[in-house]
Amino acid sequence: MTVKTAPNRAQWLRLLGIALLIGALVTTLEMLTRERIVASQTSAELDYLRQVLDPDDQGAAITFKKWPIVSRKLELLGLSEGDEMHIALRAGQPIAAIIPSISNAGYGGAIKLLVGIDFTGHIIAVRVISHRETAGLGDKIELAKSDWIEAFSKRSLSNPDTKYWAVEADGGIYDQFTGATITPRAVVNQVAATLQFFADERAALAAQITSQANPEARE
């Protein structure tokens, strides 16, 4: 018969050492996993923002800064309190605003857009982030289904003139889809509203961003 004896001091120390080692391993693994998750979230977020930037502005030289949207303009953009845009910067200088914008005038419900506008007020690109339009009718607003959404690139509030910022059925220059005018009309009107928002805010935005980048220049 074996008689169990209490662990001696050396055994306790060995057990303590093993426990500490396991603890350290678990902590290290947890840290590595967390870093990997953060890194992949960041890269997914970057891909999301870059889709409305110029293909030449995709490198690491371009950084992004979250920027608040003034409360009085949230309704125009279909957004809610706390929603933000991003500013793309090259060497600390703002090159584009990346603005989320939601139309509630779609056929199937809300159409969520992401609009990239450069600081001269020209659209870089517009992408549809989500929508509930009908497959084969309203879903041609998706780049995967048609290149219709590319028609906004390089446009501004004065090109075409504001009164032509509409689908053809409403006297504007933008194509509608056969038998499905509601969807493109919703998108065109929302992109125009987003340009208007940026035109109203551009000067104040540029000043705030520059003064934040060069704090000594502040009054």
Give residues in contact with ligand FMN (CB under 6 A): 107-108, 133-134, 137-138, 176, 179-183
C-beta of 170: minimal distance to ligand FMN in Å? 10
C-beta of 145: minimal distance to ligand FMN in Å? 12
C-beta of 166: minimal distance to ligand FMN in Å? 13
Residue 78 or 184: the one with the smaller Cβ distance to ligand FMN is 184
Amino acid at 173: I
C-beta of 195: minimal distance to ligand FMN in Å? 22
CB atoms inside a 10 Å sphere around CB 63: 13
Residue 111 or 125: the one with the smaller Cβ distance to ligand FMN is 111
Residue 78 or 138: the one with the smaller Cβ distance to ligand FMN is 138
Residue 64 or 107: the one with the smaller Cβ distance to ligand FMN is 107
